[in-house]
Amino acid sequence: MEEILKKSAAQQSKMIADKEITATELTECALSRISEVDEKIGAFNSVTREIALETAGKVDEMVAKGEELPLLAGVPLALKDNMNLIGSKTTASSKILENFVSPYNATVTQKLSDNCIPIVGKANLDEFAMGSSNENSAFKKVHNPWNLSKVPGGSSGGSAASVASCEAALALGSDTGGSIRLPASFCGVVGMKPTYGRVSRYGLIAFASSLDQIGPFARTVEDAALLLEVISGHDSHDSTSLNLPVEKFAQHLNDDIKGKKIGVITDLMTDAVSEDVRKAIEHAVDVYKSLGTEVVEVSLPKLKYSIGIYYILATAECSSNLARFDGVRYGHRTANPENLIDLYCKSRAEGFGDEVKRRIMLGTYALSSGYYDAYYKKAQQMRKLVAEEFNEVFKRVDALIAPTCPNTAFDLGARTEDPLAMYLTDIATICANLVGIPAMSVPAGFDSDGMPIGLQIMTPQLAESLLFNIGYQFEQLCC
Ligand code: GLN
């Protein structure tokens, strides 16, 4: 592999500006890496060679003219295949959208294009972002670059694997219950979910709209902070987008964190956590103590309800969001329907995979009359209580830490027959989505099989700069 692909996005972008490499050369390099290794990894559903090279060409023209380059211009990026990129296929890894070509750009995609960031391909995911292992893709599985017999985590498994295997320096994913942080932890990269509303969801194929957020993957905390700066900002196309100025999230990375108070979530350090993960988190505690922070234990007793709350709310929202895939407006249409109802039923039966159908059925049930109050309304009430508990704790500590996942990447196929075991993979990540706070997974060492472990850090809403600061300080000392 060309050494340059191993460099951070910040370094790659400096090399382009310093004329040590052209953006076209760098993009070609990433594209060759993809054709070399992706057959084994399966990170990409499609490669967008022409689009990437056209963008890279623009960067080279700017360099030739001596113009100042936008942030991260020319650095290859993988886009999760549930975000629209005009003129390319956006499949959400579903048969129902197998041949769907985006008629417009998602807001994040437009921002990448405005900053001349070459999009090298559309990254594989669990169908409609529903899953924790990327085994729910209708097309192919993603293999963990650290050990090809293991899962990369999901649902943004392709995004995480592409960054871990240096097929791209950066990637975007979406996180509804952990889909950025979990695969980041399994693949040994940085993955970050912003505050709800920080990044526009316009052009992201909706799974559960009150929980979905787009966020960055990178190999360093600094790169993740820079990419968040590129994609965040108010957007009138998304009514939940926050009307706040875009911050320079990388500005405070080097701030001294001495005197800050960090809470370890004891409810996420139970016996369910593997020995190696526990040791890694204990090591993180020591690192933070050595940086002069005060580390305290905190308990969030309502956190244990998060999985139950999530699987009612997320499925309810998905049953409604996915109603638009009816065989009439988007994607797959059955061949010979007998009538309109038959067209709806057969198109959806043929187009959706098992997990998506399971979620639609669960969600429809939770929303149906007679059950709405018992399930959906109760889950909404509980969500509020979990949020209140977090807000209370944030009066006492600046940040929270926990494992991103109780375990490291498991073998392909190990949990596919047991949906409940699969759902429990997200025990530590879902709460940040319910509460709407920013959270990040940072590499924190390896288990005895050599698989990466992730440390999860959470801060109050809108405290992304602090989150990156705390993550960066750990990253410098951890491994
Ligand atoms: N694994 C969780 C699920 O299956 C979260 C998915 C996500 O964040 N998109 O729903």
Hey, what are 423's tokens?
């759902």
Of 80, 82, 93, 126, best ligand 1 pocket probe by most atoms within 8 Å of the beta carbon: 126
Residue 402 pairs in a beta bridge with 456
Q: Please state the atom number of ligand 1 nearest to the C-alpha of residue 207.
A: 9
Cα(417) to centroid of ligand 1, in Å? 17
Does the C-beta of 314 come closer than 6 Å to ligand 1? yes
- pTM of the prediction? 0.98
Does the C-beta of 131 come closer than 6 Å to ligand 1? yes
The predicted-structure confidence for 316-334, as pLDDT tens digits, reads as follows: 999 999 999 999 988 999 9
| 2: pLDDT strictly greater than 90 | no
Does the C-beta of 44 come closer than 6 Å to ligand 1? no
Among the listed residues 419, 404, 400, 415, the one whose alpha carbon sits nearest the alpha carbon of residue 451:
404
Cα(209) to centroid of ligand 1, in Å? 12
**What is the structure's pLDDT at 420?**
83
The predicted-structure confidence for 190-245, as pLDDT tens digits, reads as follows: 999 999 999 999 999 999 999 999 999 999 999 999 999 999 999 999 999 999 99
**What is the structure's pLDDT at 182?**
98
Cα(206) to centroid of ligand 1, in Å? 12
Cα(155) to centroid of ligand 1, in Å? 6
Does the C-beta of 233 come closer than 6 Å to ligand 1? no
**What is the structure's pLDDT at 424?**
85
Hey, what are 225's tokens?
């902070």
Known catalytic residues are: 80, 155, 179
Mean pLDDT over 340-347 rounds to: 97
Q: Please state the atom number of ligand 1 nearest to the C-alpha of residue 425.
A: 1
**What is the structure's pLDDT at 63?**
98
CB atoms within 10 A of CB 389: 18
Q: Please state the atom number of ligand 1 nearest to the C-alpha of residue 311.
A: 10
| 74: pLDDT strictly greater than 60 | yes
| 126: pLDDT strictly greater than 70 | yes
Among the listed residues 64, 41, 56, 448, the one whose alpha carbon sits nearest the alpha carbon of residue 276:
448
Residue 456 pairs in a beta bridge with 402, 441
Does the C-beta of 322 come closer than 6 Å to ligand 1? no
Total number of residues shown for the chain: 479
pLDDT category, 1, cuts 50, 70, 90? low
Average pLDDT, the chain: 97
Of 80, 94, 132, 309, best ligand 1 pocket probe by most atoms within 8 Å of the beta carbon: 132
| 9: pLDDT strictly greater than 90 | yes
Cα(179) to centroid of ligand 1, in Å? 5
Cα(130) to centroid of ligand 1, in Å? 5
Does the C-beta of 177 come closer than 6 Å to ligand 1? yes
Q: How far apart are CA 453 and CA 242, in angstroms?
A: 32
Does the C-beta of 129 come closer than 6 Å to ligand 1? yes
In this structure, the strands spanning 261-265 and 294-298 are parallel
Of 130, 137, 321, best ligand 1 pocket probe by most atoms within 8 Å of the beta carbon: 130
Cα(109) to centroid of ligand 1, in Å? 22
Question: Which residue lies with its CA nearest to atom 5 of ligand 1?
Answer: 177
Least confident of 26-40, 167-181, 273-287, 405-419: 405-419
| 479: pLDDT strictly greater than 90 | no
Contact by Cβ (8 Å): 207, 177: no
| 118: pLDDT strictly greater than 80 | yes
**What is the structure's pLDDT at 311?**
96
Question: Which residue lies with its CA nearest to atom 10 of ligand 1?
Answer: 130
Does the C-beta of 163 come closer than 6 Å to ligand 1? no
What separation in angstroms does the CA of 6 have from each of 55, 124, 239, 461?
21, 21, 39, 33
Q: Which helix (H) or strand (E) holds 227?
A: helix 221-231
